[in-house]
Amino acid sequence: MAQVAITAERLDLEALTTELVREARGDGAVATFTGLVRDHNQGRNVCFLEYEAYEPLAVRALHRIVDEARATWPDVRLGLHHRIGRLEIGEASIVIVAVSPHRSDAFAACRYAIERVKQIVPIWKREHFEGGDVWLEGATADPDDENARQAAQRIACA
């Protein structure tokens, strides 16, 4: 199983975790994050979400996040899988696993990874709600924006 992936298949947190802890003799902590499709957003009743990615660039951006995390937390191993296509309420859109000798680094790297995904990975979601649909738009993706990266790191280490 790849450490990072963009996939239309259902995400499997357990399989990704198993893969990352396979040779975890020196590790004492696993932190995970799962993002779920919520049934409401900004006062709208959400029916389902549709995710789209610029796949080759999205995979590169995920690898970049792994590299950035390794530079800050050298002992952490990180896995990130993001789903695309149509997702129903309650389904997982992203799973992140951070394995580390100690819990503080695992939690921090996991939080850092989701913040960076929202900043720099070229993935978009279209919200289909009761009465219409809308493309949600967050951050202007700029991996070289050091202020944004530091903001993610501050959140991760708060």
122 touches another protein (CB under 8 A): yes
**Number of residues in the chain:** 158
74 touches another protein (CB under 8 A): no
78 touches another protein (CB under 8 A): no
56 touches another protein (CB under 8 A): yes
118 touches another protein (CB under 8 A): yes
- 70 CB neighbour count, 10 Å cutoff: 14
| Position among 76, 120, 152, 156 found at the interface with another protein (CB under 8 A) | 120
155 touches another protein (CB under 8 A): no
Kindly write down the DSSP assignment for every residue of 10-72, as one continuous string: PP-HHHHHHHHTTT-TT--EEEEEEEE--SEETTEEEEEEEEEE-HHHHHHHHHHHHHHHHHH
Q: Beta strand pairing status for 123-129 and 44-53?
A: antiparallel
In the bound state with another protein, the residue whose beta carbon lies nearer, of 44 and 126, is: 126
Interacting residues toward another protein by CB under 8 A: 35, 51-54, 56-58, 60, 82, 93-94, 114, 117-126, 135-144
